[in-house]
């Protein structure tokens, strides 16, 4: 799996829980993070390079653990790759279906909020619900630097969440893989009555299903799958922040592509 940075580790966490016996390779393209500031051609090129590198290391399935890369590069990757490619879609459909009052907020990067994919998802699944989208510039960068709580996070969240308070949402969709690491801070600001949902568990279920359909899944047993991080960025920084986000240290290898 890959992401422009470390946000996709939230997806890795869910995939590891669902597939304890599988080996997982995660590429953090930190030297090019964030993808939201790159043009489409560069995102497609980077995604293709990373996918090829993961396949060369034996990947059976590739998860694009990045909303921007999914919206820009997914179709190209699927058209040029023989293995299954699983993309990330904001959990708008289940959020609307499970919202008790039909008041749903979506917190995402500016590029995702401005993009066609999110607009199409909302149009397809909104029904009678009110869906409020809020761009959150800088929020993913805080997580990327290892900040998931404290004054910096609170200072950024307070004004960002004002439109969601005004809309009296009962459900919040996290439209960026970095944001699940902020779940505790978000609950503190929005209140425990607001249900927060993301795409990680759905992606993990999809990966498990695809591997089963391929007959390529490992049966859970005494062997625990390995988890290995690769990065185009600073190896020490990635290792330090990843350990902070996941609560455990993982081996990190610098791989320039």
Q: Please give the positions annotated as active site.
A: 66, 176
Q: Say if CB 253 and CB 229 are below 8 A apart.
A: yes
Taking the C-alpha atoms of residue 217 and residue 84, their distance in angstroms, rounded to an integer, is: 13
Taking the C-alpha atoms of residue 8 and residue 4, their distance in angstroms, rounded to an integer, is: 8
Supply the angle between the helices 40-56 and 67-80 in degrees, to the nearest 10: 60
Beta bridge pairs of residue 196: 172
Q: Say if CB 26 and CB 241 are below 8 A apart.
A: no
What DSSP string runs through 179-246?
GGGGHHHHHHHH-TTSEEE-SHHHHHHHHHHHHHHHT-PPPPSSPPPPEEEEESS-HHHHHHHHHHHH
Taking the C-alpha atoms of residue 143 and residue 74, their distance in angstroms, rounded to an integer, is: 24
Residue 233 in tokens: 């960025």
Q: Is the peptide bond before 34 cis (omega within 30 degrees of 0)?
A: yes
How does strand 195-197 pair with strand 227-231?
unpaired
């Amino acid at each position: 799996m890959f992401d422009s940075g470390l946000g996709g580790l939230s997806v890795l966490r869910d995939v590891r829980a669902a597939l304890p016996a599988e080996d997982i390779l995660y590429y953090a393209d930190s030297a090019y993070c964030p993808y939201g500031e790159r043009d489409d051609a560069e995102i497609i090129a980077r995604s293709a390079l990373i996918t090829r590198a993961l396949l060369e290391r034996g990947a059976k399935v590739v998860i694009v653990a990045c909303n921007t890369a999914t919206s820009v590069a997914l179709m190209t990757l699927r058209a040029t790759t023989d293995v299954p490619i699983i993309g990330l879609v904001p959990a708008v459909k289940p959020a609307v279906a499970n919202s008790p009052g039909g008041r749903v907020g979506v917190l995402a990067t500016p590029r995702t909020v401005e993009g066609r994919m999110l607009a199409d998802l909302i149009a397809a699944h909104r029904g009678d619900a009110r869906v409020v989208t809020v761009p959150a510039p800088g929020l993913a960068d805080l997580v990327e630097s290892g900040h998931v709580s404290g004054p910096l996070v609170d200072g950024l969240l307070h004004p960002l969440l004002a439109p969601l308070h005004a809309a009296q949402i009962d459900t919040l969709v996290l439209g960026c893989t970095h944001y699940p690491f902020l779940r505790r801070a978000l609950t503190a600001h929005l209140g425990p009555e607001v249900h927060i949902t993301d795409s990680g568990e759905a992606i993990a279920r999809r990966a498990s299903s695809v591997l089963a359909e391929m007959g390529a899944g490992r049966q859970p047993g005494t062997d625990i799958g390995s988890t290995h991080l690769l990065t185009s960025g600073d190896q020490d920084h990635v290792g330090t922040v990843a350990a902070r986000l996941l609560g455990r240290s993982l081996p990190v290898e610098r791989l320039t592509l």
